Structure 1
Amino acid sequence: MSMAELNRSQGFSVRLATNQEEIEKTQRLRYEVFAREMGAQVHTSKPGVETDDFDVHCEHLLVEELSTGRVVASTRLLRKEAAQTIGRFYSESEFSAGFISGLNGEVVELGRTCVHIDFRSGGGIMLLWSGIAQLMKRWDIDYLLGCASVPCRDDGQLVQTLMNGLRAKHMSPQSLRAKPRVPVNPWSGSEVDGAIMPPLLKAYLRLGAWVCGEPSLDEEFGVADLMVLLDMRELNHRYFKHFLGRESKAADQVGKPQEVAITA
């Protein structure tokens, strides 16, 4: 495997994009998922491509179907040094989070995570996470930062249902709290019966991540975003090894429909 490739199994390659053509494939997948499917209001100068000013500063991780060359899942990673060049992490567009500047060591932010509709399975997100886990080791990451999205076209009923459970078990220490720039309106009605936690958020929590406060509304994407932070000292090593050691099994599961993982 090349240095860019992190895993190859059962007809799929998990790797970092190495040129603009590969990056554009991830951006086309983002457009398909976020704009066409979710109805997000994306701003782009090129039809069928979802981009923003952060892309050029990020590493782009993709899962490619080798038989077709199709990108079936992707995420982007913004490292601390690159964020300092821009002046902020993407998350800080949605949250006031002064604590981030005080985090010592290597901080990496995940964003724009998505999976093609034909590959939404435990295996699809497992393959992507296997690559993320490899990079966490390779880059010696101290903190993993991100926004996990919850659909919010129901006046906030689902996100508030989930938050009721998260507040009890998964909130960060007060010193690591963020303030949403656009708070989600409180929901005073009944909770959603059988509310399903988005798989990306579930993966973060299983790894040991914290939710850093109340959600922020992203009106363009129609979601509420939760800032999450994983301190590697708090890592659930058993679950982390689950990503590192089960890539082949994950690949066997690709194509069995479950839920999509998305994030801003």
Structure 2
Amino acid sequence: MLSLAKGRYAARLAETPGDIDRAQALRWRAFRGDTPGAGEGCDFDGFDALCRHVLVEEVATGALVCCFRLMPIARGQEIGRSYSAQFYDLTGLADYAGPMVELGRFCMAPEVHDPDILRVAWGAMTRFVDETGVEMLFGCSSFHGTDAAAYLDAFAMLRERHLAPKRWLPRVKAPDVFRFARRLRARRADPRAALGSMPPLLRTYLMMGGWVSDHAVVDRELGTLHVFTGLEIRAIPAARARALRAVAG
């Protein structure tokens, strides 16, 4: 069973319905907590029952500081049952032959900003990937809010440097999208502004060799913009892979 303790934080798989309740409550705070009148609630959907849920807790207090869910996909032919497939046409990935896992609903408690939390979370994902033989990690990476104008430098950098290989490029499926690869052809990204406005999860994907769709989906229910993100495990730079395994070990 996945379990990882490093410094102040420890990651583990959810074991009880109460564990999942805690994760869903944290997801509500992270994704919907700043919505007027949101109050306290529970973020859940039908995919929760199909996933393994990972909790990252502060060792001293037991406080839940981060959570995410993992949905194993045996091969590309099954990718249509993923959460991401609701929003993106993933036909190009149907020919992917190796095992995959979808990383979803990744969030941290809004009041915490310790980078070690993300480090432990990625260590836990690395252990899961190594133990299960996963060859590709994918999911949706979310920007806070639905105003694309706030992230033009980030989207311009994604267009310039990080688009998916053509054979795997997700096609448009959602009704409301921002086609940044088309719209920002003439824009040169300010690297500092781009990196400063990117969500930490997406920055980590990109540092490991990840790639993204050429458009962002406007998700008004969650109040986010998200891009499909993929990462082939074998494409992770050797130094980065060693660092991740050092945390996971």
Alignment partner for residue 4 of structure 1, among 2, 5, 15? 2
1:80 equivalenced with 2:73 (yes/no): yes
* Aligned partners of 1:176 and 1:212 also within 8 Å: no
Query: In the alignment, what sits opposite 1:14?
Result: 11
| Structure-2 change in CA distance of 1:83 and 1:143 (3 Å) | closer
Query: In the alignment, what sits opposite 1:176?
Result: 168
1:159 equivalenced with 2:158 (yes/no): no
* Aligned partners of 2:2 and 2:127 also within 8 Å: no
Q: Counterpart of 1:119 in 2: which secondary structure?
A: coil
* Separation (CA, whole Å) in 2 of partners of 1:40 and 1:143: 38
1:133-144 equivalences under 5 Å are 133-144=126-137
* Aligned partners of 1:178 and 1:212 also within 8 Å: yes
* Separation (CA, whole Å) in 2 of partners of 1:40 and 1:171: 35
* Aligned partners of 1:12 and 1:64 also within 8 Å: yes
* Aligned partners of 1:60 and 1:77 also within 8 Å: yes
Select between 207-216 and 70-79 the one with higher mean Cα deviation: 207-216
- Tell which has more relative contact order, 1 or 2 (C-alpha 8 A, sep 6+): 1
* Separation (CA, whole Å) in 2 of partners of 1:82 and 1:59: 18
Q: TM-score when scaled to structure 2?
A: 0.85
- Kindly state the Cα deviation for residue 57 of structure 1 after the two structures are TM-superposed: 0.4
Q: What residue identity is the alignment partner of 1:4?
A: L
| Structure-2 change in CA distance of 1:23 and 1:233 (3 Å) | same
Q: Counterpart of 2:139 in 1: which secondary structure?
A: strand
Deviation per CA, 1:112-159: give whole Å up to 9, x if none.
0011123222111111111011111111111101111113443x1133
Q: What residue identity is the alignment partner of 2:177?
A: P
Q: Counterpart of 2:105 in 1: which secondary structure?
A: strand
Query: In the alignment, what sits opposite 1:221?
Result: 222
| Structure-2 change in CA distance of 1:223 and 1:243 (3 Å) | same
Deviation per CA, 1:192-237: give whole Å up to 9, x if none.
8824221111000111111132111111122211101111221223
The CA RMSD measured in Å over matched residues stands at 2.9
* Aligned partners of 1:211 and 1:226 also within 8 Å: yes
1:105 equivalenced with 2:103 (yes/no): no
1:129 equivalenced with 2:128 (yes/no): no
Q: What residue identity is the alignment partner of 1:8?
A: A
Aligned length: 239
- Kindly state the Cα deviation for residue 32 of structure 1 after the two structures are TM-superposed: 1.4
Q: What residue identity is the alignment partner of 2:72?
A: R
| Structure-2 change in CA distance of 1:26 and 1:170 (3 Å) | same
1:26 equivalenced with 2:20 (yes/no): no
1:64 equivalenced with 2:63 (yes/no): no
* Separation (CA, whole Å) in 1 of partners of 2:104 and 2:230: 13
| Structure-2 change in CA distance of 1:9 and 1:233 (3 Å) | closer
1:149 equivalenced with 2:180 (yes/no): no
Q: TM-score when scaled to structure 1?
A: 0.80
Select between 164-173 and 193-202 the one with higher mean Cα deviation: 193-202
- Kindly state the Cα deviation for residue 85 of structure 1 after the two structures are TM-superposed: 8.2
* Separation (CA, whole Å) in 1 of partners of 2:47 and 2:79: 8
| Structure-2 change in CA distance of 1:112 and 1:4 (3 Å) | same
- Kindly state the Cα deviation for residue 18 of structure 1 after the two structures are TM-superposed: 1.5
Q: Counterpart of 2:107 in 1: which secondary structure?
A: strand
Q: Counterpart of 2:193 in 1: which secondary structure?
A: coil
